[in-house]
Amino acid sequence: DAKTTQPTSMDCAEGRAANLPCNHSTISGNEYVYWYRQIHSQGPQYIIHGLKNNETNEMASLIITEDRKSSTLILPHATLRDTAVYYCIVSRFTGTASKLTFGTGTRLQVTL
Amino acid sequence: DTGVSQDPRHKITKRGQNVTFRCDPISEHNRLYWYRQTLGQGPEFLTYFQNEAQLEKSRLLSDRFSAERPKGSFSTLEIQRTEQGDSAMYLCASSLDRDYNPNYGYTFGSGTRLTVV
């Protein structure tokens, strides 16, 4: 699975959009981009995933560049409860081994 | 649907003792995963089951570790002769994988925090 690069930490003011970048320059054509987050003392929580097209759900939006070498997770109106570690994961979904390889993620701190 | 349950939430044990953790996945999920997470790191894959079959094991899973999923429902992870390096959060996740569809994300439990003293 391709490796990802994320900033170690970011700050965001409550109510503003949080834009979390991820580089995955070695991604291959059959690899998906997944985002999970982990709030302190809890298990990771699935946020969103995509292959080529931009995706949006009730939690966030995922913007994938045309060359698929990077992506951005957007939390449109960050709240204090969005303070967490956000993991960008690139994974080939083979059907026989859909395990996820986590990096160290981005620690997002949402402040008043 | 009560999510993925793990028991216990916390376990303190003396070095050399055996410990066993339990995971109850979401009932209709056919895949179950175990991960380990140490402080400041992301979760690391240990092993996964498709129904009752253990299909993959990481090199992190030494011979002191054993996982089972009898009848394809709950799973147990046992660590024998614990060492201080085994101190970590052990996370269980489950997913419903049909027709190799990537649209089914994992659901993680809250984990079992193991401290070996």
Instruction: Report the percent of chain B where pLDDT is more than 90.
Output: 72
- Of A66, A65, A111, A106, the C-alpha closest to A89 is A106
Task: Work out the average pLDDT over B83-108.
Answer: 82
Q: At A99, is the secondary structure helix, strand, or coil?
A: coil
Per-residue pLDDT of A76-99, as tens digits, reads 999 999 999 999 998 876 554 567
Mutate to test the interface with B, among A98, A104, A106, A107 (most CBs of B within 10 A): A98
Kindly state whether B59 is in contact with chain A, defined as any CB-CB distance less than 8 angstroms.
Answer: no
**B45, B100, B105 ranked by CB distance to A95: nearest:** B100
A99 Cβ partners below 8 Å, 6+ apart? A91, B33, B45, B48, B56
Backbone angles phi, psi at B85, to 5 degrees: -70, -10
B99 Cβ partners below 8 Å, 6+ apart? none
pLDDT reported for residue B76 = 98
Compute the mean pLDDT over every residue in chain B, rounded to the nearest whole number: 91
Per-residue pLDDT of B15-36, as tens digits, reads 999 999 999 999 888 889 999 9
pLDDT reported for residue B102 = 58
Instruction: Return the biggest CA–CA distance within chain A.
Output: 45
From B83's Cα to the closest Cα of chain A, the distance in A is 22
**Strand-pair partners of B34:** B47, B92
Query: Could you give the angle at the alpha carbon of B67 between the alpha carbons of B64 and B69, nearest 5°?
Result: 165
Per-residue pLDDT of A27-64, as tens digits, reads 988 888 999 999 988 999 999 989 998 999 999 999 99
What single letter denotes the amino acid at residue A8?
Answer: T
**B48, B105, B110 ranked by CB distance to A99: nearest:** B48
Contacts of B108 in chain A (CB under 8 A): 43-45
- Of A96, A93, A105, the C-alpha closest to A39 is A105
A2 — pLDDT class (breaks 50, 70, 90):
low
Asked if A43's CB is within 8 angstroms of B4's CB, the reply is: yes
Q: Are A112 and A15 in contact (CB under 8 A)?
A: no
